[in-house]
Structure 1
Amino acid sequence: MINEYVARKVATKDMQPCLICSKPTVTVLYNASGPDWLYTCDIHLHDNPQFAIPIHSIEYQEAVDKLRRLKLQVDKASVKNSNSWDGWVSHLFNKKPTKEDHNEEVSIENNEADEPEDVQKKYNQQLDLVANLQKKTRKYQLSDTTFNSRIERRKNQQRMLERRKKEQELYANTDPQELATQFTFPSVPNNPVSKS
């Protein structure tokens, strides 16, 4: 079984209790590699990394990288354009650029030719894009302990099913005469009761 689950919604009439908090939920994590599913609340998928970790798309990873670059540009633009006393003081305390850093800064400054407001707008748009991509995430990977417990539970269910089938076969194959010879059932005493 592969540790990759897809989040799906079911109808409200098919609600089941959440695996973690036991509240009714319509969100199901389904594993297609070995038919396994579990009901969970949406909040546990987003806020509980000890339960499930989202598997993000390449598009999301690229958007996050672009967001980081834009954040650096916004920070630099805010430091350069701040006219208050803390702006020029923080500008004094910034590190002096080395030659390697200077080459990188020249390439970044070429991109920074925009106004700080434009950079902030781009940053906000990219932030919205990242938030939308994060909401669209449907694939999750369970934590190792949760996934291993699911596998063990499945194996135990298989063992119990096999044991139950064996018991049913053994019970169905018994002959009543054979049971009577193997076991001695108590009988009513045959002694007559004497009256004195």
Structure 2
Amino acid sequence: MAFPNHYAHRKVAETKAKPCDICFKLSSSVLITTGSKDWFYVCPAHLKDPAYCTPKIDQAAIEARKKRALEEEMERVKKEYEEKQKLKEKEAAKGDKKDKADDKTDKNDKPIDDADKTVNKTEPVSTPKAGEGEGEEEEEPRVFELKSTFYQQRLNKKRQAEIVRRNRERLRDPTFFPSVPKNLP
């Protein structure tokens, strides 16, 4: 009869929204136990309330997410570095050819200014993407544990529903009521 105090947060379609179990506003968020023994609609605001429930943080999932993000960042940096190295090699090759040609023509002319060289370079400027860095938001927790009073209310509600169901079945059973005596007294 009892179920664990671990509820997973799920979203349903807006068309399937039902009243919140606490404030009776329409909500599309559902808390459900493993095995679907208990579930109820709840507002997302109540999930953030520390007096109602506490999020259960999965440390292994957080570590895996951080490791994946670090690997993606390393790959991105490696690619950028390789691209810059290729550009430098190309510019160095062009610069050697140009220097040889310039040395022949510029010996009698004025010296070439360093500022003129930097203007001709075209290096790609990397801008941070929308999903990277500071703008990254942390995901909401998906597993919650209700506070003892609210959990007890859920257990009592389930017990009452079970009692009502059993009583309804008993009333439908014709042997539940006593039969009329058949013998004369």
If the length of structure 2 is used for normalisation, what is the TM-score? 0.52
**Following superposition of structure 1 onto structure 2, how do residues 176-187 of structure 1 map, counting pairs within 5 Å?**
178=180
Identify the residue that residue 118 of structure 1 maps to in structure 2. none
CA contact (8 A) 1:2 1:33 kept: no
Quick one: which amino acid aligns to residue 52 of structure 1? C
CA distance in 2, matches of 1:172, 1:154: 24
Q: Which residue among 24, 40, 63 is the counterpart of 1:22?
A: 24
Name the count of aligned residue pairs: 114
- 1:153 matches 2:154: no
CA distance in 2, matches of 1:174, 1:144: 43
CA contact (8 A) 1:45 1:52 kept: yes
Identify the residue that residue 56 of structure 2 maps to in structure 1. 55
Question: How many angstroms does 1:172 deviate by?
Answer: 8.3
Task: State the SS of the aligned residue for 1:132.
Answer: coil
Question: How many angstroms does 1:171 deviate by?
Answer: 7.1
CA distance in 2, matches of 1:128, 1:51: 29
CA distance in 2, matches of 1:24, 1:11: 12
Identify the residue that residue 89 of structure 1 maps to in structure 2. none
Question: How many angstroms does 1:36 deviate by?
Answer: 0.6
Identify the residue that residue 40 of structure 1 maps to in structure 2. 42
CA distance in 1, matches of 2:178, 2:146: 46
Structure 1: state its 5+ residue gaps: 64-124, 180-196
Identify the residue that residue 2 of structure 1 maps to in structure 2. 4
- 1:132 matches 2:138: yes
CA distance in 2, matches of 1:34, 1:25: 19
Identify the residue that residue 141 of structure 1 maps to in structure 2. 145
If the length of structure 1 is used for normalisation, what is the TM-score? 0.49
Quick one: which amino acid aligns to residue 35 of structure 1? K
CA contact (8 A) 2:19 2:25 kept: yes
Quick one: which amino acid aligns to residue 30 of structure 1? I
Structure 2: state its 5+ residue gaps: 66-132
Quick one: which amino acid aligns to residue 142 of structure 1? L
Instruction: State the identity %.
Output: 24
Q: Which runs of 4+ in 1 moved over 4 A?
A: 171-175
From the superposition, tell whether residues 34 and 174 of structure 1 become closer, same or farther in structure 2 (CA, over 3 Å). Answer: same
More helix by share: 1
CA distance in 2, matches of 1:169, 1:7: 39
- 1:162 matches 2:152: no
Quick one: which amino acid aligns to residue 50 of structure 1? A
Structure of higher RCO (CA pairs closer than 8 Å, 6+ residues apart): 2
Question: 1:148-192 CA deviation, whole Å, 9 max, x = no partner?
Answer: 1101111111111111111110378788xx49xxxxxxxxxxxxx
CA distance in 2, matches of 1:41, 1:5: 14
